[in-house]
Structure 1
Amino acid sequence: MSDAHVVVIGGGIAGLAAAAFLSGAAGGEPARARVTLLEASPRIGGKLWGGEVGGVRVDLGAESMLARRPEAVELARAVGLGAELEPPTTAKAAIWTRGALRPLPGGQVMGVPGDLDALAASGVLTAEGLERARHEGNTEVGEDVAIGRYVADRLGREVVDRLVEPLLGGVYAGRADEISLRAAVPQLLPIARGGGSLVAGVHELASRPQTVGTPVFQGLRGGIGTLPEAVAAACAKAGVDLRTDTPVDELRRTPEGWRVVAGGEVLAADAVVLAVPAPAAARLLRADVPAAAAELDAVEYAGAALVTLAFRRADLPEPLSGSGFLVPSVDGRQIKASTFSSNKWGWLERSAPDAFLLRTSLGRYREEEALDLPDEELVARSLADLGEAIGLTARPYDTTVTRWRAGLPQYPVGHLDRVARVRAAAAGVGGLALCGAAYDGVGIPACIASAATAVAALDKLLTPATGEGSTERTMGA
């Protein structure tokens, strides 16, 4: 290990992962530096957060992680949670559209269909919308394009409104007509540029051996909220100085490295990893890295409210089936999705067999008025939509509303170019790297991967020089 001191600012999963990689807490790698992690809030974990509703532990933020990317599963195993990994009990989801619950058609990728027969059988589209999808248009794709506009040109507006929009909305709470294809669904970009059939290309992608038969998502027994707790425990064991309730007031470049003012204390750091949302990063970088700050100021966010409802199973007129449903915004409902948590996660059903937990989400990009409503109004709106969608008449015995204001960064066309400019500006001052949901993806594996990228960007600084017996470190000032 070098004798460098790295300050990680931000204790969400990206910051925790960066601290784990730097300290050797993630296993498989030696410690690179002495690490101090500073988190402004009273707790670590960011949007990975568990709590109790109706006496049952349940996730109040992210509740699953993409399993077809390795980073999150590997980190969970590295910090001792390998035995707790558990795929969903059911992945049978539906779309509540055109007045009925309809099965989410198979063979699609982020709502882009690869099987028009399955799409027809689902009843999601009208006859006119299905006929339009069968006659693909043709549009050229340059460096990037908004996924909604591209799919509308190729397959028609209904495919976007009733499939792509609700699926993307579940990830970004954003608008398909503004979200970058290159940034959000990069696996579709070669298909789009290839000039052939989009449906055939998606079918081939969805039929690959590494895709078929493997779970799309993984959970953790006890909830995804246990992951940051385990990473933090591993970091502490590896010697990381983990501080909560410690907002950073100032970050300045010095000839020796960085000066961090936090909690009334001045810390000297050889390097800094910024793992905070874009507005907070912009504020801290404005004095010394104004080019990066200007780019980060332009990143927009969406907010969402999660309403978690606990019912007694005995009060349900009949068992609910499936993992839940999505709601297209074109249908004008209050909620945008509902997850039947007790159906989806076997560990939850086993731990609370007499309770049934489900949750709804409300709020979309530029449609976030719901976040300002009282808790009881959000519960009432959720119950009204659930009553209409699935005939739910039971009353919950406990409820919890969790608001994630400015929780989801938006990825418009040109987002990846903006990220490249931010990282170039950071590299220009030396000893600085950035990671988190605002850069390479909003999912848990993407955030962890961005932490690995940030740590790799500091390798030259943290690796001792080997020439002529010298052990001096190089500072890219």
Structure 2
Amino acid sequence: MSSAPVTTRPHVAVVGGGIAGLAAALEVLDALPDAAVTVLEAGERTGGKLRSESVAGHRVDVGAESVLAVRPEAVDLMARVGGGDDVVAPATTSASVWSRGALYPMPRATLMGVPADPFSARGILTDDEVTRLADEQPWAGGAPSGDVSVGEYVSARLGPAVVDRLVEPLLGGVYAGHARRLSLQATMPVLWERAVRGESLLGGRPAAPSASDGSARPPFAGLVGGLGRLASLVEDALRARGALVRTGAVVRGLERVGDRWRLVVGSAAAPDAVEADAVVLAVPPAPAGRLLAGHAPEASRLLGEVETASTAVVTLAVHRAGLTDVTGSGVLVPPVEGRVVKASTFSFAKWAWVGALSRDVVHLRASVGRAGEHAALRRDDTELVGLARTEVGELLGRPLPPVVDHHVQRWGGALPQYAVGHVGRVAAVRRDVARLPGVEVAGASYDGVGIPAVIASATTAAHAVAHHLSTAASRGEAR
């Protein structure tokens, strides 16, 4: 009688401790409870763009502060790690648009700025621009045969003003990019599908999914105490299940050693080797490309070509007096207006829990930075705070109350730009990476920059890793 082969627990290394890496690690443990999992994060803390800081003595988000709740991934993750009871919908989602020196309500039924009713955009657009919007034109040559930019396509069919004053500020908020450089197929897939079918772009937003009880599901959600809590909750869940989470762990190299992978961690002077049976690369495109250079050259090249945008979030705590009449979630500013601030979020009005933090001060945010625009971000923190206070006051038509405290969070290279042809490039990256046994990629560089899309990519990567390890184990290759 032969004895059973001696095996050890498979080891999965996850490079990157943003929400993609954390979610991938958790999903691996769900699929393979006996696996050893190590998360290697280069920074001082996990969470990536999920981050909260103390401003005027209260912790508020200084990164992402809401998730798209019509997709289930983020809300489901919150529930899985013990945050389900703290999931909240915004108190208001009614934003305004600053156009030609005045504020106008954003049309309610829009799809990334394209309104279902052209006449609901009057004010933001002039009468002539509304007339052009209503006079939808066909795309020359029929349905597009390949990817095109959002700006080129929407401008040709609905007029350039729709792009400049409605689409641009919304795309700028999500991608920090420019409509005339971003992919229609990747960033606005619903409009892309309509384009391919030769349909009107004025159909408005698709019907929102319903909750399990049949009621309409709110389109957005946040977390009491800030979305920054989600990273901490996932990290705590990982540690409780035996995962190792290392911060300050810069991964400088990826090597193939026999049937395993070796990650070179730390400085060149004092490198540390971490060996693993499978690896998930959940890092931005440039570092992912560098790690793949010796193994998947096509993927490495394509990832190295992905442009990223840097942004900053200026959080202000100001005296409550003087803002008691402010309503709505905030203001979007089209780039044609030539301002430094591209959007302002009235956090105290948007989130009931933020509004209840203090009787004396309220918190609001200003966003700065678009792809290729570096001048604004070269300003020091003091100048950015001053500009934010001045410009938000101008948007409101009166000076902001005195600033009690502030925080400037700079996000260098935080948002990958989905240029024309992005979907094809991602497919090519994945084909090349698929030749590497046990290596997967995940994160905002692939299938969407929103948190639900990022979590979905992490889940896909984790399942692929689990399948690889299970298949190897069935062949007696597991260690």
What is the TM-score with the length of structure 1 in the denominator? 0.93
Amino acid in the other structure paired with 1:365: A
Q: Which residue of 2 aligns with 1:459?
A: 466
Q: Which residue of 2 aligns with 1:340?
A: 346
Q: Which residue of 2 aligns with 1:297?
A: 304
Any conservation in 2 of the 1:20–1:235 contact (CA below 8 Å)?
yes
* CA distance in structure 1 between the partners assigned to 2:478 and 2:131 by the alignment: 63
Q: Which residue of 1 aligns with 2:456?
A: 449
The 10-residue stretch of structure 1 (287-296 or 445-454) with the greater mean CA deviation from structure 2: 287-296
Q: Which residue of 1 aligns with 2:290?
A: 283
Q: Which residue of 1 aligns with 2:3?
A: none
* CA distance in structure 2 between the partners assigned to 1:50 and 1:207 by the alignment: 33
Any conservation in 2 of the 1:463–1:473 contact (CA below 8 Å)?
no
Seen in structure 2, the aligned counterparts of structure 1 residues 209 and 15 have a Cα distance that, compared at 3 Å, is closer
The 10-residue stretch of structure 1 (262-271 or 335-344) with the greater mean CA deviation from structure 2: 262-271
Q: Which residue of 1 aligns with 2:33?
A: 31
The 10-residue stretch of structure 1 (321-330 or 251-260) with the greater mean CA deviation from structure 2: 251-260
> CA shift at 1:10, angstroms?
0.3
* CA distance in structure 2 between the partners assigned to 1:219 and 1:208 by the alignment: 17
Q: Which residue of 1 aligns with 2:433?
A: 426
Secondary structure of 1:192's partner?
Answer: helix
* CA distance in structure 1 between the partners assigned to 2:76 and 2:376 by the alignment: 37
The count of aligned residue pairs is: 462
> CA shift at 1:225, angstroms?
0.1
Any conservation in 2 of the 1:435–1:450 contact (CA below 8 Å)?
yes
Any conservation in 2 of the 1:323–1:340 contact (CA below 8 Å)?
yes
1:93-151 CA-partner distances (Å, limit 9, x unpaired) = 0001111011000110100111123223xx11011111101111110322322111111
Question: What is the 5 A alignment of 1:194-209?
Answer: 194-199=197-202, 202-203=203-204, 205-207=205-207
> CA shift at 1:474, angstroms?
7.2
Any conservation in 2 of the 1:461–1:473 contact (CA below 8 Å)?
no
1:287-310 CA-partner distances (Å, limit 9, x unpaired) = 222221111100000111111000
Amino acid in the other structure paired with 2:157: R
> CA shift at 1:437, angstroms?
0.6
Secondary structure of 1:61's partner?
Answer: coil
Q: Which of 446, 458, 476 is the equivalent residue of 1:472?
A: 476
Secondary structure of 2:115's partner?
Answer: coil
Q: Which residue of 2 aligns with 1:436?
A: 443
Q: Which residue of 1 aligns with 2:237?
A: 234
Amino acid in the other structure paired with 1:193: V
Question: What is the 5 A alignment of 1:38-117?
Answer: 38-117=40-119
Percent identical among aligned pairs is 47
Amino acid in the other structure paired with 1:214: R
The 10-residue stretch of structure 1 (361-370 or 161-170) with the greater mean CA deviation from structure 2: 361-370
Any conservation in 2 of the 1:256–1:270 contact (CA below 8 Å)?
yes
Secondary structure of 2:373's partner?
Answer: coil
Secondary structure of 1:69's partner?
Answer: coil
Amino acid in the other structure paired with 2:117: D
Q: Check if 1:245 corresponds to 2:248.
A: yes
* CA distance in structure 1 between the partners assigned to 2:136 and 2:150 by the alignment: 15
Any conservation in 1 of the 2:318–2:400 contact (CA below 8 Å)?
no
Any conservation in 2 of the 1:86–1:220 contact (CA below 8 Å)?
yes
Secondary structure of 2:255's partner?
Answer: strand
Q: Mind listing any 5+ residue stretches in structure 1 that lack a counterpart?
A: none
Seen in structure 2, the aligned counterparts of structure 1 residues 174 and 354 have a Cα distance that, compared at 3 Å, is same
* CA distance in structure 1 between the partners assigned to 2:62 and 2:8 by the alignment: 39
Aligned residues: CA RMSD: 1.9
What is the TM-score with the length of structure 2 in the denominator? 0.93
Secondary structure of 1:454's partner?
Answer: helix
Amino acid in the other structure paired with 2:171: L
> CA shift at 1:2, angstroms?
8.0
Amino acid in the other structure paired with 1:127: D
Q: Which of 129, 132, 150 is the equivalent residue of 1:147?
A: 150
Q: Which of 318, 327, 330 is the equivalent residue of 1:324?
A: 330
1:170-192 CA-partner distances (Å, limit 9, x unpaired) = 00000001111111111222211
* CA distance in structure 2 between the partners assigned to 1:4 and 1:464 by the alignment: 12
Secondary structure of 2:179's partner?
Answer: coil
Any conservation in 2 of the 1:248–1:260 contact (CA below 8 Å)?
yes
The 10-residue stretch of structure 1 (348-357 or 104-113) with the greater mean CA deviation from structure 2: 348-357
* CA distance in structure 2 between the partners assigned to 1:172 and 1:162 by the alignment: 16
Secondary structure of 1:428's partner?
Answer: coil
The 10-residue stretch of structure 1 (379-388 or 38-47) with the greater mean CA deviation from structure 2: 379-388
Seen in structure 2, the aligned counterparts of structure 1 residues 188 and 80 have a Cα distance that, compared at 3 Å, is same
> CA shift at 1:208, angstroms?
5.7
Any conservation in 1 of the 2:208–2:217 contact (CA below 8 Å)?
no
* CA distance in structure 2 between the partners assigned to 1:460 and 1:235 by the alignment: 20
Q: Check if 1:379 corresponds to 2:381.
A: no
* CA distance in structure 2 between the partners assigned to 1:317 and 1:12 by the alignment: 35
Q: Which residue of 2 aligns with 1:185?
A: 188
Amino acid in the other structure paired with 1:23: L
Any conservation in 1 of the 2:10–2:478 contact (CA below 8 Å)?
no
Seen in structure 2, the aligned counterparts of structure 1 residues 465 and 426 have a Cα distance that, compared at 3 Å, is closer
Amino acid in the other structure paired with 2:309: A
Q: Mind listing any 5+ residue stretches in structure 2 that lack a counterpart?
A: 1-6
* CA distance in structure 2 between the partners assigned to 1:208 and 1:39 by the alignment: 36
